[in-house]
Amino acid sequence: MGLFSIGNTIIKSVFRKPATVLFPIVPMKTDELVRGQVAIDIDECIFCGMCHRKCPTNAIEVTRDEKKWAISRSRCILCTNCVEVCPKKCLEMKNRLAPASFEKIQDSFQLKEEK
């Protein structure tokens, strides 16, 4: 009986559309409500560090002296705390997803060791 059920499954799957898409080749459809990634308008930023202090995962690094802002996309949980707390409203959530890649991307900064 098990052989017949496997045969039925194979025959059904031959005539159906695929359940998945070829993601890197065919782009995914995104909804307007998708929180894809944090975007910054660096010209508006005053480097106050509020986003860094409110980030629960320490994914944002702000260096006021050097005027640098960096985010670790692998640590960001898309909670929007940084967007809500920004006094200049230069941060926003874009609904685009990170591009697909076959290479491993390292964090853009080293996080501080917790003592």
CATH number at residue 86: 3.30.70.20
Examine residue 107 and state whether it is found in any structural domain, yes or no.
no
Residue-wise pLDDT tens digits, 1-55: 566 778 888 888 888 887 787 777 777 777 777 777 899 999 999 999 999 999 9
Examine residue 15 and state whether it is found in any structural domain, yes or no.
no
Please give the tally of structural domains in the chain.
1
Gyration radius of the chain over CA positions: 21
Q: How far apart are alpha carbons 20 and 110 in whole angstroms?
A: 36
Examine residue 75 and state whether it is found in any structural domain, yes or no.
yes
Q: What is the pLDDT at residue 57?
A: 94
Examine residue 21 and state whether it is found in any structural domain, yes or no.
no
Cβ atoms of 64 and 93 closer than 8 Å: no
| pTM to 2 decimal places | 0.62
Cβ atoms of 58 and 22 closer than 8 Å: no
Residue-wise pLDDT tens digits, 74-103: 889 989 999 999 999 999 988 877 666 666
Domain enclosing residue 62, as ranges: 31-97
SS3 3: helix
